[in-house]
Amino acid sequence: MAELQQLGGTGQTVQETPKQIYVTPKAVEKIREAFVKEGASGGLRLGVLGGGCSGLSYQFKFDAKQRPTDLVFEFDAVKVFVDPKSILFLDGMTLDWKDSIIQSGFVFENPNAKKSCGCGTSFSV
């Protein structure tokens, strides 16, 4: 259940909108393939780190278990772990898989990113 927050001095309460990320079916398929190839178990950790050519970089790695404060999202039995600080930058983001003539790979479609670099793994807000 979403938390309720009281607005300062007004006596009104508003329901906090739950945070959400999305993973497309094609990306879920590729994540599963990567888990099998690497012999990994657990979930996929998505996060944000300082650095990269635009100021922030996406973190993308296997994690054997979730942390107590993680938000856990599940897509067709694939678990995705996101820490509370990273969700501030990732809320509403879609992780997709794109195939093209030039390259194939995961693509971050992040509505919070104001600018991103050519590599697609670095952004700013």
On average, the pLDDT of the chain sits at 81
Q: Please count the residues of the chain.
A: 125
Is position 54 within any domain?
yes
Q: What's the structural domain count of the chain?
A: 1
Structural domain for 57, as ranges: 17-124
pTM: 0.77
Question: Distance from first CA to last CA of the chain, Å, rounded?
Answer: 29
Is position 81 within any domain?
yes
Backbone angles phi, psi at 17, to 5 degrees: -75, 130
Is position 4 within any domain?
no
Q: Render pLDDT for 36-91 as a digit per residue (tens, 0 to 9).
A: 999 999 999 999 987 655 578 888 899 999 999 999 999 999 999 999 999 999 99
pLDDT, residue 16, reads 64
CATH of the domain at 79: 2.60.300.12
